[in-house]
Chains A and B, each alone.
Chain A
């Protein structure tokens, strides 16, 4: 019995006490000017660690070592393209996946008027919400308007009266800074015939049930029926009660928005 026990104990000790851990690669550096573009956007990647390669996909699939190897900056032309990136290397666990979605400009917006944001997060002037700048998850970037209130109203005027199929809004999720996506978005269009606003559609969003990484999250809301108009009114209700798992549970969350696209 003793004879059996000794090697067993030795092996346990060896594996738990002295064996060295297999480490994970860190995520690669993904850089681009803005997630919003008129014609195209270029994304570049960096990972200066010999013996590793960056693999990427543009079809939404999780990158594997059978996918494309990154060699030069990636040009994105198609709207709602999601770039997913992962690093693999011998002797290490692969990195987490880094991703970004690139969004093409929509119908020409003449002007946007919105509820005045919190004075600390005033954005970047009158065109903040349609300047094709943003999609970078940094609350201190000048691309975001920040709100901490019950409701935010946004009035959009288009260049001309035309069919409207959908509206895209881009928000920040930075739960550590109490910034959450909204709980409800309601979109109205101006009906010339009735001379009043009519509902285009609405969306209710369920709050995250556990902590998530900082990211820009967009909501694409389609028109419920045929809409032909040059004016939209959007009412956004920030998350009124931060979920249970968060240190700020029960309190009102911040809302950060950086861009709106109309298609």
Chain B
């Protein structure tokens, strides 16, 4: 038998978890490495839980007015709109029980939203204040689906001309391509043994950092990787992120940010962190995670080091380089804010 190093599923002293000590206070918790270090504020949200409840906090974006929009699967208010200081400005939405993916698109000067709903098996385009503009049903045109339930879209990416890419991350892991009017154009990805295939295609984004050749980055979460494709869906390469269940890639400036839901070494144990990659897809900072280490170009397995996040699900970067972290299944916590440490 091939000798391999297996990872011990840690046997923890559970007693430590049972006893809740009084929470001591301290100054600041600084997370991350190098020039991507941040101060954590886990009391950013001033939302009154009785008025503005949340369930899973899935994704966040910032609009051109500087407001921070949060998408939650709590139908009391699927979208909460905050100012950067954590004050609720408004809320809307009661009809998105499976609200999961939130993407902002500037359509000729007017901002619109694309919501992926896991439960409705649909992608819904709305105005910034929630008026429905278009609904995309399950993509039977692909020939890969026989009923809506097989399609569980998790994320969209929109090109400058309005083309829509939908990642079916909890369904069959295809990426479906539409034009701006919602006309079906094609698909790629799906499950399989080849490098071009995907497993849990949880997120998707467009990468314009190389002006000459924009491309798509798609998450293959259970494979702990991002995979790059051309806009035509041709596979380019894989960015391996050993140990990390990366959610969606989010690009701001030269950097790519992603919430890591959990790590392989401690699955089901609130083991998430946040990872940041540079322009060359090299991990440069892990917030609450292990210092990234490359040996002969290969990244060491990554893991959580500080238990400040449970299951982080998305990162939003605002115009001042602050980060907002939305979390899934984490005791209905509101988002945390992280401010850069210079």
Contacts and interface: CB of A to CB of B under 8 A. Distances in A.
B280 interface: no
A19 to B, nearest CB: 4
Interface string A90-106: 01100011111000000
B8 A26 contact: no
B11 A137 contact: yes
Contact of B11 (A20, A25, A31, A214): A214
Nearest to A136: B6
B225 to A, nearest CB: 20
Interface size range on B against A: 35 or more
Contacts of B4: 33
Interface string B68-99: 00000000000000000000000000000000
B8 A136 contact: yes
Nearest to B309: A23
Interface stretch (B25-33, B156-164, B200-208, B250-258): B25-33
B306 A30 contact: no
Interface in B195-252: none
> What 7 A-B pairs come out closest when comparing CB atoms?
A215-B11, A49-B305, A137-B9, A19-B25, A48-B290, A48-B291, A213-B12
Nearest to A26: B304
A20 B24 CA distance: 9
Contacts of B43: 17-18, 20
Interface string A45-85: 01111101000000000000000000000000000000000
Given A23-B29, A26-B307, A176-B268, A31 B5 contact: yes
A178 interface: no
A121 interface: no
A23 B17 contact: no
Interface of A: 15, 17-27, 29-34, 46-50, 52, 91-92, 96-100, 124, 131, 133, 136-138, 141, 176, 211-216
Nearest to A172: B9
Interface of B: 1, 3-14, 16-17, 23-29, 33, 40-43, 265-266, 268, 271, 290-291, 293, 300-301, 303-308
A23 B12 contact: no
B41 to A, nearest CB: 7
B1 A133 contact: yes
A133 B6 CA distance: 10
Nearest to A127: B1
Nearest to B302: A48
Contact of A20 (B1, B40, B291): B40
21 contacts: A18-B43, A19-B26, A20-B29, A20-B40, A20-B43, A21-B26, A22-B23, A23-B307, A25-B307, A27-B12, A30-B8, A32-B5, A32-B6, A33-B4, A33-B6, A46-B303, A98-B11, A99-B11, A99-B13, A212-B14, A214-B9
Nearest to A92: B306
Given A98-B12, A213-B11, A20 B290 contact: no
User: DSSP majority for the A interface?
Assistant: loop
A166 to B, nearest CB: 23
Contacts of A52: 305
Given A97-B16, A124-B1, A212-B14, 14 more contacts: A19-B25, A21-B26, A25-B307, A26-B266, A26-B305, A27-B266, A29-B7, A30-B10, A96-B13, A97-B12, A99-B13, A100-B11, A136-B9, A216-B11
Contact of B25 (A15, A98, A136): A15
Contacts of A34: 6
A20 B25 CA distance: 6
A96 B10 CA distance: 10
B51 to A, nearest CB: 17
A119 B29 CA distance: 49
Contacts of B12: 27, 96-98, 213
A22 B42 CA distance: 11
A26 B306 contact: yes
A49 B30 CA distance: 12
A78 to B, nearest CB: 19
Contact of A32 (B8, B24, B307): B8
A101 B305 CA distance: 24
A98 B10 contact: yes
Given A96-B12, A214-B11, A47 B29 contact: no
A20 B148 CA distance: 45
Given A20-B26, A34-B6, A136-B6, A25 B306 contact: yes
